[in-house]
Amino acid sequence: MSSDPSVEAPREDEAASPDDAAAAPTAGPGGSLASNFLHNLWSANTVVVTIWSIVLAMVIGAVLIVVSDSDVLAMFGYFTARPSDALTGSWDLISGAYADLFKGAVFDPATMSAWLHGTGSWRAAFAPISETLTYAAPLVFTGLSVALAFRGGLFNIGGQGQAVIGTITGAVAGFAFGLPVVLNLVVALICGALGGALWGFIPGILKARTGAHEVIVTIMLNNTAALFLTWLILQDGVQDPKRTDAISKTVAESAQLPSFGGALRVNLGIVLAVAVTAGVAWLLNRSSFGFELRAVGANPAAARTAGISVARTYTLLMVVAGGLAGLGGATQVLGTAYALTPAVAGNIGFDGLLVALLGRNRPWGTLLAAILFGALRAGGNRMQSFSGISLELVTVLQALIVIFIAAPALVKAIFQLRAARTARIGATMTKGW
Amino acid sequence: MANDHIDITVEPGEVHALLGENGAGKSTLMNQLYGLLQPDEGEFLVDGRPRTFRSPRDAIAAGIGMVHQHFMLVPVFTVAENVALGAERTRGGVAGWLDRRRVRREVVEVSERYGLPVDPDALVENLPVGAQQRVEIVKALTRDVDLLILDEPTAVLTPQETDELLTVMRSLTESGKSIVFITHKLKEVKAIADRITVIRRGRTVGTATPETPEDELAALMVGRDVTLEVGKAASQPGREVLTVTGLIVEDDRGVRAVNGVDLSVRAGEVLGIAGVQGNGQTELVEALMGLRAARAGAVTVDGEDLLGMSTKQILRSGVGYVPEDRSLDGVVKEFTVAENLVLDTYDRAPYGNAVKLNPAAIAAAARERVEQFDIRTSSPDAPVSTLSGGNQQKVVVAREMSRPLRLFIAAQPTRGVDVGSIEFIHGRIVRERDSGAAVLVVSSELDEVVALADRVAVMYRGRVLAVVDPQTPREELGLLMAGVTPGADKPADGVTPGAGEPADGAEEEPK
């Protein structure tokens, strides 16, 4: 499972953050790597809870797979007579499904060995990972948007709306300006970010000036953005003249995020996502603004007493968070969709909330969580077509993972983890309210 | 460990004073008795039988009631509703309605029987602190308790209200109730207690009778002969640094909390502001720091107008500020010690600039401050929440004293701080004065004001009633704090027309 290394990593990356001190290994320096690992496996730190949450979600997912399959369910009807039927049937079903999930998300041994033996193409071999990263890229941006806002004490539910505006400004810049090669893409991306930033500025300034709760405002702005998009697509100059349905002109090729190797869908977006993650990590931990936003997020009263302008911080923070989500939208439309449709942004804004939650609001954690969600989505496609399991199961898996993370006490109780400071995980997530 | 093998016995009908400093473990002990905390070892006997208290419900069932230092009342409920809360009685079976009449009757009955005047229909938020306290007591009494725990009941009361409380306590003991009276104020103990148990660092260090002399009690409490004096030379007042004229500040409800204050503090002197909490001190200081808008008046530091400056500008102009509520305004608990040490200088050289921080300089400065100010922490990178209250306060003091200051404002600088740290912080404040800064100290502990100040300004209902010498007799200071000016024989209410609602207590913030 690709998730294990992915959730391990945030610890090394942000040693400066105080929360990480709690998660740091407690075994003595003399302990070997293995004993360290075993020691930590049962201590209830954030990383361990995350891993067990994923395991737990997959166990429940397995039950759901069995229950939703009528053939295997029928075998359970004569379980007492021939239990082996039901058990092997269930096992085959579950292992087949999760194998497909893996093959669709990471790599398929068959295509991989075919490529190594010269009978298959490298494209087929790398297609799964390409799909994973393609789905992950926009989620990284929207996840970072939510995570950054949250560190500043704001609950940015508006990632969706900001991303939608980002797709609009990004796409329009992409097909309208007709700039030369590199410039066109850069301008389109910047326009996407600016669009999102504007959409973030509105709740930010309202919060700072009037105290309007950002959750309410951003939810309203999500609807506003979505409806604006459906209206805009049908307008002259935006709608594709050759089409009668709701689709815009196609983004100029020079404004599209270049993909690697032609046949693969994965594009420059994921590289940009990693770079932006590094940027956000720097912003949060090394910049003066990051210091301000963390102080405001943790204790606005003390921040204000120390001379930090809380209103300015809130406004600026929402602008940056909106810009990130807008960039996510732009990546979506310039990287894979190439044209505006009413559903062009999919669900990336709302998935960003879950990604940030899973990544514990840390930049690198968010990146890894986005990749995990991308993997589930990519693998889910294969699981659906090969094992006949509905794609919705993936959504259920994502939801279960997040539920377990949000309820660390539950995971702790189920696995009897040693007492550690897991309570903080839950506490920090609800603080925005 | 807050409590280490404490033995204490309370007889029926007695006032048993639990005397100890802040942080000595008095409240911890009583919270165990009241079921809020569980003891690791040992047991409680009620009427000779061992009882365990898993929650306040158990304690109340066993006849134990508690009035907390910070009241546990719902501000938007009436007195009767607050009394009913937690023991609601209904009429009409399972889907019944609240029996308000009965509660009202009980409130009236109890308040008459013990001489505790409260209006059952008043909203709690409209009551002054003293009355809120009476509501708490009535609430406990309606639960038929035999033992009443009063946790620092006089901390927020004026001397007059304190006297009223002592009368109530007497009438309670006369009707056979026992009272555990937690305090660190010697005079009150001597006035009311039948027996005294002194607690220090979680241990019982002695029992005493009210006849024990005060200094002996103080020595028991602190563990050595205490000099309440702060070692300092006579002040050398220089130029006038801070000038406040005609300052008017409103509190959060729009009531004038500061109602025309004139003050001046000179370089090299400490001006202490004494007064019962809630007489406008908080709002005064917040206005000086740009944290609260002033309605009228002028504030200047060396001739520079402070009003209209942002807090950041004020801090940069050479003003140091220790806020009164450390955990709310002083530190960011999630931040490390090092981060808290640069909370207001993070964007200035050498710690950083408008764009980025300089972690190396921040770390180096933190190591230096931890050393200089004797901050007891496992590491400068430990979250400040892992430090004791006294050390957290030292972090705040160290931060504010780490830059050249013209004016140093300290509100309640030693609240909830251990003795060692108190001495250290007091020493530092005096040192700041001697280095030529003007110092303004606000404290509700009269001892602290008197020990530190070169001049004492007494605030009452938003006004400075008088500026006196710290050597002024305590009785006189006490009367001033209660609003009685020398020569006048009634409180100075009349001299503050337009003061709006009574200022005392109502703006007590829940902690």
| Nearest partner of B457 among B448, B471, B470, judged by Cα | B470
Residue B492 near residue B449, CB atoms below 8 Å:
no
Q: Is the dihedral of CA A410, A414, A417, A419 positive or negative?
A: positive
| Distance, CA of A204 to chain centre | 23
Tell me, what's the pLDDT at B332? Answer: 94
Helix (H) or strand (E) holding B150: strand B147-151
Q: Which of B311, B313, B325, B334 to mutate to test the interface with A (most CBs of A within 10 A)?
A: B334
Tell me, what's the pLDDT at B496? Answer: 41
CB within 8 Å: A307 and B334: no
Residue A78 near residue A64, CB atoms below 8 Å:
no
- In A344-403, the residues whose Cβ lies within 8 Å of chain B are none
Is the Cβ of B381 closer than 8 Å to some Cβ of chain A? Answer: yes
Tell how many helices (H) and how many strands (E) occur in chain A.
Answer: 21, 0
Q: Is the pLDDT of residue B495 over 70?
A: no
At B181, phi and psi to the nearest 5? Answer: -115, 105
Q: Is residue A3 very low, low, confident or very high in pLDDT (cuts 50, 70, 90)?
A: very low
What is the chain B residue with the closest CA to A19?
Answer: B334
pLDDT in tens, B301-328: 999 999 989 999 999 999 999 998 888 8
The structure tokens listed for B369 are 């401050």
The structure tokens listed for B480 are 């001033």
Residue A11 near residue A20, CB atoms below 8 Å:
yes
Helix (H) or strand (E) holding B137: helix B129-142
- In A62-91, the residues whose Cβ lies within 8 Å of chain B are none
- In A272-331, the residues whose Cβ lies within 8 Å of chain B are 286-292, 294-295, 298-299, 301-309
Q: Which of A150, A286, A288 to mutate to test the interface with B (most CBs of B within 10 A)?
A: A288
> Average of pLDDT values for A107-114?
89
Angle between helices A159-176 and A181-210 (to 10 degrees): 150
> Average of pLDDT values for B372-397?
89
Q: Is the pLDDT of residue A430 over 60?
A: no
Which of A18, A301, A305 comes nearest B334 by C-beta? A18
Contacts of residue B357 in chain A, CB cutoff 8 Å? Answer: 286-288, 290-291
Instruction: Centre a 10 Å sphere on the Cβ of residue B291 and count the other Cβ atoms it contains.
Output: 20
Tell me how close the Cα of B343 comes to any Cα of chain A, in angstroms.
Answer: 6
| Nearest partner of A348 among A228, A196, A150, A217, judged by Cα | A196
Q: Is the pLDDT of residue A193 over 90?
A: yes
CB within 8 Å: A286 and B321: no
Helix (H) or strand (E) holding B44: strand B44-46
The structure tokens listed for A43 are 């201590």
Contacts of residue A286 in chain B, CB cutoff 8 Å? Answer: 356-357, 359
Tell me, what's the pLDDT at A364? Answer: 94
Which of A298, A301, A307 comes nearest B335 by C-beta? A298
The structure tokens listed for B1 are 């460990």
Tell me, what's the pLDDT at A208? Answer: 94
Contacts of residue B410 in chain A, CB cutoff 8 Å? Answer: none
**Residue B495: partners with Cβ closer than 8 Å, 6 or more residues away:** B463
CB within 8 Å: A302 and B356: no
Task: Give the torsion through C-alpha atoms of A159, A161, A162, A167, to 10 deg.
Answer: 120
> Average of pLDDT values for B364-374?
93
- In A7-66, the residues whose Cβ lies within 8 Å of chain B are 16, 18-19, 21
Tell me, what's the pLDDT at A215? Answer: 94
Instruction: Centre a 10 Å sphere on the Cβ of residue B427 and count the other Cβ atoms it contains.
Output: 13
**Distance from C-alpha of B219 to C-alpha of B226, rounded to nearest angstrom:** 6
Tell me, what's the pLDDT at A102? Answer: 92
Which of B291, B313, B346 comes nearest A291 by C-beta? B346
> Average of pLDDT values for A278-283?
96
Tell me how close the Cα of B32 comes to any Cα of chain A, in angstroms.
Answer: 23
Tell me how close the Cα of B322 comes to any Cα of chain A, in angstroms.
Answer: 9
The structure tokens listed for A38 are 């075993």
Residue contacts between A and B (CB atoms, under 8 Å): 82
Q: Is residue A39 very low, low, confident or very high in pLDDT (cuts 50, 70, 90)?
A: low
pLDDT in tens, B287-299: 999 999 999 999 9
**Average pLDDT, whole number, for chain A?**
85
Q: Is residue A136 very low, low, confident or very high in pLDDT (cuts 50, 70, 90)?
A: very high
Instruction: Centre a 10 Å sphere on the Cβ of residue B353 and count the other Cβ atoms it contains.
Output: 14
* Interstrand relation of B438-442 and B455-460 (parallel, antiparallel or unpaired): unpaired
Helix (H) or strand (E) holding A166: helix A159-176
Q: What is the DSSP string of B388-416?
A: -HHHHHHHHHHHHTSS--SEEEEESTTTT
Which of B312, B344, B355 comes nearest A287 by C-beta? B355
Q: Is residue B417 very low, low, confident or very high in pLDDT (cuts 50, 70, 90)?
A: confident
**Distance from C-alpha of B76 to C-alpha of B122, rounded to nearest angstrom:** 10
- Bridge partners (DSSP) listed for residue B97: B91
* Higher-scoring residue by pLDDT: B94, B199: B199
Tell me, what's the pLDDT at B488? Answer: 54
> Average of pLDDT values for B256-278?
90
> Average of pLDDT values for A204-225?
95
- Bridge partners (DSSP) listed for residue B240: B266
| Nearest partner of A225 among A154, A149, A159, A321, judged by Cα | A159
pLDDT in tens, A56-87: 899 999 999 888 888 888 888 888 888 888 88
- Bridge partners (DSSP) listed for residue B208: B196
**Distance from C-alpha of B143 to C-alpha of B153, rounded to nearest angstrom:** 19
Tell me how close the Cα of B134 comes to any Cα of chain A, in angstroms.
Answer: 31
**Distance from C-alpha of A422 to C-alpha of A412, rounded to nearest angstrom:** 8
* Interstrand relation of B90-91 and B64-67 (parallel, antiparallel or unpaired): unpaired
Count of alpha carbons within 13 angstroms of residue B173, beta-carbon side: 20
Helix (H) or strand (E) holding A134: helix A122-151
pLDDT in tens, A360-388: 899 999 999 999 999 999 998 898 888 88
At B52, phi and psi to the nearest 5? Answer: -115, 140
Tell me, what's the pLDDT at B223? Answer: 64
What is the chain B residue with the closest CA to A289?
Answer: B355
Helix (H) or strand (E) holding A115: helix A109-116
Helix (H) or strand (E) holding B261: strand B256-266
Is the Cβ of B320 closer than 8 Å to some Cβ of chain A? Answer: no
> Average of pLDDT values for A133-151?
96
Residue B21 near residue B198, CB atoms below 8 Å:
no
Out of A251-255, A297-301, A362-366, B202-206, which region has the weakest mean confidence (pLDDT)? B202-206
Count of alpha carbons within 13 angstroms of residue A86, beta-carbon side: 15
pLDDT in tens, B53-71: 888 888 888 888 888 877 8
Contacts of residue A18 in chain B, CB cutoff 8 Å? Answer: 334-336, 383
CB within 8 Å: A303 and B332: yes
> Average of pLDDT values for B418-433?
85
Tell me, what's the pLDDT at A286? Answer: 94
Tell me how close the Cα of A169 comes to any Cα of chain B, in angstroms.
Answer: 28
Q: Is the pLDDT of residue B118 over 90?
A: no
CB burial string A147-181: b at 16+ within 10 A, e below: bbbbbbbbbbbbbbbbbbbbbbbbbbbbbbeebee
**Distance from C-alpha of A290 to C-alpha of B457, rounded to nearest angstrom:** 42
